[in-house]
Structure 1
Amino acid sequence: MYWRWLWLGIKMIYQLLCCSLSLIFFCFNVLWFFCNLAIPWCTLTLLVVCVASKFVKLQRSPNEKRLLSLLSTPDDWPSYWPIANRGAGYDAPENSKAAIKKCLARGYRNLLLDAGLTSCGEIVIANPQKLDVAHRTLNDLQQQNITEQHPMGCQFETEYVATLKQLSEFLEAEAPSATLFLRLHDNSPRMIDQMQKFMSSNEALTQRTIVISRSPLAIYQLRKLQPDIICGLWHETYLSLSILKSSTLITSIYGAIFRNIIAPVIGISVVFLSKDEFNLHIADLWRNVGVRPIVYMVNSPNEKRYFQKTMKTQYLTDSLRSEPHLLMKA
């Protein structure tokens, strides 16, 4: 009886092992079949996309000298390196006129401000993530004091959300030399249409503004309507799975698609890249396709010194008080 049960156990283990090996070989054959079937089609598809992109691509920048004048030159060091995110939102209420004045008083003229579209179709300068711009009217927003949201808000005068038109009038009067990076949080056709109409009727703002968006399609639509607008891409990594990030081949293909296909087609002039994924090789690859890389978010003095001295790349920062030369003076 004992030997019989032992024999049945051995036989069961043997059958299980055979079935497992059969399953492994089956999966391997299926994978081999799909790889051999998919690789030629992927190559052909990529070739078709590359050829098609040549016919739909837009002119990158209508005036390279204007772009360089907007970004300023290394001769303007140290004000050349930093771009004040939301007007340096750690130092003053973000997206406010007070923040802009503070930046200009310190000698910095590169500003990045947020733009959102209200429910009534008005473009406003505000952070939609904090004020829920899309579901509120302009009258509602302009009744809220934005300075009280800042830790040091008591040091600033009461200020309300400004429209793009009000910002344009303020810059024309107070900061004619400022360079404005306008980041679009709403990439809907309605926003693109409103932005195009405003830019076409306001040449002064168009000449000093670089429009930034995370949507390549939105940039393409905007520049197709208004080719004179200089645009930039806010690049974020969408490879959320760690197994995809760890694959050098996948990340290389992903980056090459953005640099060599998407960027030339939509005609961007600058790209904002995360500091965690930035290095000299990546910077050179973007520069080789005629796109100027800018790094975000850089706030510590050591990081700023690194990007100034080693990377020689402009960066986006939340605070201008941590600029290395200011700390050395202090």
Structure 2
Amino acid sequence: MAKCVMRTGWRASGGTLRFSSICLKNWPNVPAYPNAPNSIITLTQRRSLFVLPFGIDVGILGVAAYYITRLKKPDPDNVVSIFGPDPWSKESDLHPEKVVKCIAHRGAGLDAPENTIQAFKYCVERDCRFVELDVRSSRDGHLVLLHDQGLGRLTGTDITDVHIMDWEKIKNIDIGATHPNRQQFKEVHLCLLDDALNYLLANNVRMIIDIKGEDKQVVNGILKAFSNQPALYRYAVVTCFNPFTLYQIRKRDPQVVGAISYRPYCFSAQDYDAENGPTNPRFGDNLPVQALLRVADLVHSLLWRWSARWCAASAVLLHKDIVSPSEVQYWRSLGIRCAGWSVNRPLEKLYWRGVLRAPYLASTLLGEPDVDEQKRVEKRSIKEVD
């Protein structure tokens, strides 16, 4: 009985000693036990020398992880091949025809049924050689050009998710049924990524491939497309809103030119514009959830710049209402191109061309200003006066 009590007391004292050896300043009069194992005390005292203030150790680990895992940039010649010369450079003044101005958003989806071969033909006929398209996967692994998760907006049907549908069941659906120009474009069907790439490359059209589905099928399909058609390295940019998806692609193939897309309030609201701010709130009737989503928006706005550098993105695609001259110059100082979406009004297009001097994604090719021709006319008139 006495031995049990002594052993229990010894263990309790030993535990107290271990704790107090780390915090000697708080307990200077801790009783010493000459028979206690010195190795325990010495070990804990040595460990205490390496304890950093709370937060500093996490920050050091975070910075180290960032530089260790940060990806390398692709070949800069490929970036220039896709986006043309920097609009602010001397080369752009010498060769203004090479500067990218308008990128047809979804193949000019307001003029022709979006993300279709008919839309891309419409762009080529109007000499627009840069398009943006959206990609997601069907259940059987086909990569389909489609922006929405379902087909309700385009077809009026009740198909809410093409990822649970086989290609054979959706390939013959008329997706131009609700388009404003449906009388001009009849019997328009979904398009596969491979078919679109073959047509666009054959017509020397640059492209932005926007990944909407974030599953492994899409990631593997994009990498396979670049492997099968090496010309894509000089003709195509891969972009998405999720930096981890872009990271997966560029980690496996660093020569793929990447871009990061961003829209404010993407977690808490479905739509955003400068006049109305965030609208159509997600879970708007649940105030605690909505508050958490607003916090997520704030954190996202602070981290997305870091994500662009982490993925070694060559371009950023931003909502047009948050872009200013200082924003363009910030990304230009980092060697990253800046483009806005969706710029559809003629006055906005003129502002982007003449003031921001940055490319923009437009859903319509109507109302395109010819700023360069206007400058030439002004220069001629000045010379004639002189």
Please tell me the TM-score bracket, short chain as reference: 0.7 to 0.9
- TM-superposed CA distance for 1:143, in Å, is 1.1
CA contact (8 A) 1:79 1:109 kept: no
Which residue of 216, 219, 224 corresponds with 1:189?
216
Letter of the 2:263 counterpart: E
Shift of 1:128: 2.8
Instruction: Return 5+ residue gaps in structure 2 as ranges.
Output: 1-52, 86-91, 152-160, 270-277, 279-290, 375-386
2:66 maps to what in 1?
53
Higher relative contact order structure (alpha carbons within 8 Å, sequence separation ≥ 6): 1
Given that 1:147 and 1:154 are in contact with CA atoms closer than 8 Å, whether structure 2 keeps it comes out as no
Retained in 1: the 8 A contact 2:84–2:98?
no
1:37: which partner in 2? none
The residue type equivalent to 2:314 in the other structure is S
In 1: Cα distance, 2:197 partner to 2:322 partner: 34
Partner residue in 2 for 1:311: 356
Structure 1 counterpart of 2:247, from 207, 215, 220: 220
C-alpha change, 1:197 and 1:78, in structure 2 (3 Å) is closer
CA–CA separation in structure 2 for the residues paired with 1:316 and 1:171:
17
CA distance in structure 2 between the partners assigned to 1:154 and 1:41 by the alignment:
66
Deviations 1:55-112 (Å, cap 9, x if unpaired)?
1111122x21221121234434597211110011111111111211121221211100
Decide whether aligned partners of structure 1 residues 79 and 207 sit closer, same or farther in structure 2, where only a CA change above 3 A counts.
closer
Partner residue, 1:208: 235
Task: Provide the secondary structure at the position in 2 that maps to 1:148.
Answer: coil
Kindly name which structure, 1 or 2, has the bigger radius of gyration based on alpha carbons: 2
Please tell me whether residue 71 in structure 1 is matched to residue 91 in structure 2: no
- Summarize deviations over 1:204-231 as a string: whole Å, max 9, x none: 3343111111111001111111222111
The answer to whether structure 1 residue 258 and structure 2 residue 304 are counterparts is yes
Q: Give the distance between the partners of 1:79 and 1:101, measured in 2 at CA.
A: 22
Cα shift readout 1:172-229 (whole Å, capped 9, x = no counterpart): 43x1x21010100011233212222232222233431111111110011111112221
Alpha-carbon distance change, 127 to 262 in structure 1, aligned in 2, over 3 angstroms: closer
Residue in 2 that maps onto 1:98? 118
Q: Indicate if the aligned counterparts of 2:78 and 2:233 stay in contact, CA closer than 8 A.
A: no
- Deviation, 1:284, is 2.1
Would you tell me which structure has more helix in proportion to its own residues?
A: 1
SS state at 2:68 partner: helix
Structure 1 residue aligned with 2:148: 128
Aligned twin of 1:169: 198
Overall identity of the aligned pairs, in %: 26
The one-letter amino acid of 1:278's match is: V
Task: Give the gaps of 5 or more residues in structure 1.
Answer: 1-39
Q: Which residue of 2 aligns with 1:32?
A: none
Match of 1:138 among 158, 163, 167: 167
Query: How far did residue 42 of structure 1 move?
Result: 4.9
Partners of 2:369 and 2:234 in 1: how far apart? Answer: 31
Aligned-partner residue type, residue 216 of structure 1:
P
Matched residues, number? 282
What TM-score do you get using the length of structure 1 for normalisation?
0.76
User: CA offset at residue 43 of structure 1?
Assistant: 5.7
1:160 correspondence with 2:189: yes
The alignment's TM-score, normalised by the length of structure 2, stands at 0.66
CA, structure 1 residues 80+198, in 2 after alignment: closer, same or farther (shift >3 Å)? closer
The answer to whether structure 1 residue 296 and structure 2 residue 323 are counterparts is no
In the aligned structure 2, how far is the partner of 1:41 from the partner of 1:289? Answer: 32
CA RMSD of aligned residues (A): 3.0
